[in-house]
């Protein structure tokens, strides 16, 4: 049987290689963020004597000591980032630790002398937390700052432009950090999209999906699919395969597939709808890994894997994980299992 031939060699031989590439980048970005957090803390401490504080601020001030400890810890994390990064991925509740530290730094001193290391901490969290959760963390930190001003009776004396600048700065830098890391990681995961062109017809799609589904049916026994799903192959593809003998279909499959449509075409590239973590889960599913194995590879829980699969299924409008992986294989995102 003639198979689809890549127009250029694939850069990754499996979904695991794509996932490893993206995770390595995210880990390095996390280490860089930790180093930046430590540098911001040191800079704030050095500039502290030059700031015009509302109240006397000395080295014995609790938040100043806290900032010094954060600087030491941040440089240690930058040197050895993997344990902290994996712990934050596995347990999202640990994100509250840097958020609480950031809130304490912004609560006192009252003139936001420590706002930059506070923001750097939330920027670090933004690399592992979804954007909406990052915004909620920003709101908690900034509301804590307003509450501290109100309790001290200093709210009326604080310049409005200073408070407004905090809200704009926190929102901008944390959002920028989260989006940049997410977009680059997604680009690395989709590096092979376009190496294989889209099937030229429904018959070609049927052959492609049937070729993928056959060796993968046995790998799905741990997560059974609903009845009537035809092992993840779309209905029109099943109809073509059942109605047309492979001998009749084979001559119409080109040996070299034409170049794909532009990436802006959602039909030609459905992977654009998926987040970075969803792409990683799909890539590992395409390799035949089970949910527990995927959770271990990505340092997340099995429940998180299930949530990512459910969200990806909803975004692509398919019925189950089998159809999700079949579409990913047919689009050229990941290679079929050999």
What does the H/E/C string look like for the chain? CCCCECCCCCCCCCHHHHHHHHHHHHHHHHHHHHHHHHHHHHHHHHHHHHCCCCCCCCCCCHHHHHHHHHHHHHHHHHHCCHHHHHHHHHCHHHHHHHHHHHHHHHHCCCCCCCHHHHHHHHHHHHCCCCHHHHHHHHHHHHHHHHHHHHHHCCCCCCCHHHHHHHHHHHHHHHHHHHHHHHHHHHHHHCCCECCECCCCCHHHHHHHHHHHHHHHCHHHCCCCCCCCCHHHCCHHHHHHHHHCCHHHHHHHCCCECCCCCCCCCCCCCHHHHCCHHHHHHHHHHHCCCCHHHHHHHHCCCHHHHHHHHHHHHHHHCCCCHHHHHHHHHHCCCCCCCC
Q: pLDDT at residue 138 above 90? A: yes
Q: What is the mean pLDDT of the chain?
A: 78
Statement: residue 210 has pLDDT above 50:
no
Q: How many angstroms separate the CA atoms of 48 and 150, rounded?
A: 23
Q: Is the pLDDT of residue 295 over 50?
A: yes
Does 250 score more than 60 pLDDT?
no
The predicted pLDDT at position 226 comes to 46
* Dihedral angle sign, alpha carbons of residues 259, 265, 269, 272: positive
* Domain residue limits, the chain: 18-189, 198-330
Residue 259 has pLDDT above 90, yes or no: no
* Whole-number pLDDT of residue 202: 37
Decide yes or no: CATH 1.10.10.10 for domain 198-330: yes
pLDDT of residue 162: 76
- Pick from 197, 206, 314: which is nearest to 252 by CA? 206
What pLDDT does 141 receive? Answer: 94
On the question of a cis peptide bond just before residue 109, with omega within 30 degrees of 0, the verdict is yes
Position 224 pLDDT exceeds 70: no
d(CA 288, CA 217): 9
Q: Are 321 and 223 in contact (CB under 8 A)?
A: yes
Q: Which residue has the higher pLDDT, 198 or 293?
A: 293
Give the pLDDT of residue 245: 42
Rounded to whole angstroms, how far apart are CA atoms 76 and 289? 34
User: Which residue would you say has higher pLDDT here, 251 or 221?
Assistant: 221
pLDDT tier at 87, thresholds 50, 70, 90: very high
* Residue, of 4 and 325, whose pLDDT is higher: 325
Across the range 174-202, mean pLDDT stands at 77
Residue range 29-74, pLDDT digits in tens? 999 999 999 999 999 998 887 766 656 667 777 888 999 999 999 9
Name the residue with higher pLDDT: 4 or 87. Answer: 87
pLDDT of residue 334: 79
Token reading at 295: 């959770």
Q: How high is the pLDDT of residue 7?
A: 52
Q: What is the pLDDT of residue 257?
A: 42
Which pLDDT score, from 0 to 100, does residue 24 have?
94
Over residues 162-187, mean pLDDT: 92
Confidence of residue 231 (pLDDT cuts 50, 70, 90): very low
High-pLDDT (> 70) share of the chain, %: 70
Dist. CA 139–CA 130, nearest whole Å: 15
Q: How far apart are the first and last CA of the chain?
A: 15
pLDDT confidence of 8, banded at 50, 70, 90?
low
Which segment of 39-43, 131-135, 320-324 scores lowest on mean pLDDT? 320-324
Q: Is 70 exposed, middle or buried (0-12, 13-18, 19+ CB in 10 A)?
A: buried
Confidence of residue 303 (pLDDT cuts 50, 70, 90): very high
The proportion of the chain whose per-residue pLDDT surpasses 90, expressed as a percent, equals: 43
Report yes or no: 15 and 287 within 8 Å, Cβ to Cβ.
Answer: yes
Per-residue pLDDT at 160 exceeds 90: no
């Amino acid at each position: 049987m003639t198979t689809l031939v890549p127009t250029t060699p694939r850069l990754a031989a499996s979904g695991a290689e794509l996932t490893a590439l993206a995770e390595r980048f995210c880990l390095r970005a996390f280490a860089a963020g930790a180093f930046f957090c430590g540098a911001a803390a040191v800079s704030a401490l050095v500039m502290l004597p030059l700031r015009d504080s509302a109240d006397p601020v000395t080295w014995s001030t609790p938040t100043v000591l806290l900032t010094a400890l954060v600087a030491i810890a941040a440089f240690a994390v930058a040197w050895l980032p993997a344990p902290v990064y994996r712990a934050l991925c596995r347990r999202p509740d640990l994100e509250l630790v840097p958020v609480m530290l950031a809130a304490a730094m912004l609560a006192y001193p009252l003139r936001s002398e420590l706002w930059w290391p506070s923001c750097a901490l939330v920027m670090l969290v933004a690399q592992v937390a979804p954007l909406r959760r990052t915004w909620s963390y920003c709101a908690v930190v900034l509301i804590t700052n307003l509450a501290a001003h109100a309790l001290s009776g200093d709210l009326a004396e604080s310049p409005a432009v200073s408070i407004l600048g905090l809200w704009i700065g926190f929102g901008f830098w944390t959002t920028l950090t989260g989006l940049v890391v997410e977009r680059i990681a997604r680009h690395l995961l989709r590096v092979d999209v376009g190496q294989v062109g889209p099937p030229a017809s429904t018959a070609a799609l049927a052959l492609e999906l049937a070729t993928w589904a056959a060796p993968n049916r046995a790998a799905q026994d741990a997560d059974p699919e609903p009845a009537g799903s035809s092992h993840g192959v779309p209905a029109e593809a099943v109809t073509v395969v059942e109605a047309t003998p492979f001998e009749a279909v084979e001559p119409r499959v080109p040996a070299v597939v034409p170049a794909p449509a532009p990436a802006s075409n959602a039909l030609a590239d459905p992977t654009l709808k998926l987040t970075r973590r969803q792409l990683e889960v799909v890539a590992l599913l395409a390799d035949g890994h089970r949910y527990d194995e995927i959770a271990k590879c990505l340092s997340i829980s099995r429940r998180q894997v299930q949530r990512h699969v459910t969200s990806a299924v909803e975004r692509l409008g398919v019925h189950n994980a089998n159809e999700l992986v079949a579409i990913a294989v047919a689009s050229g995102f990941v290679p079929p299992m050999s």
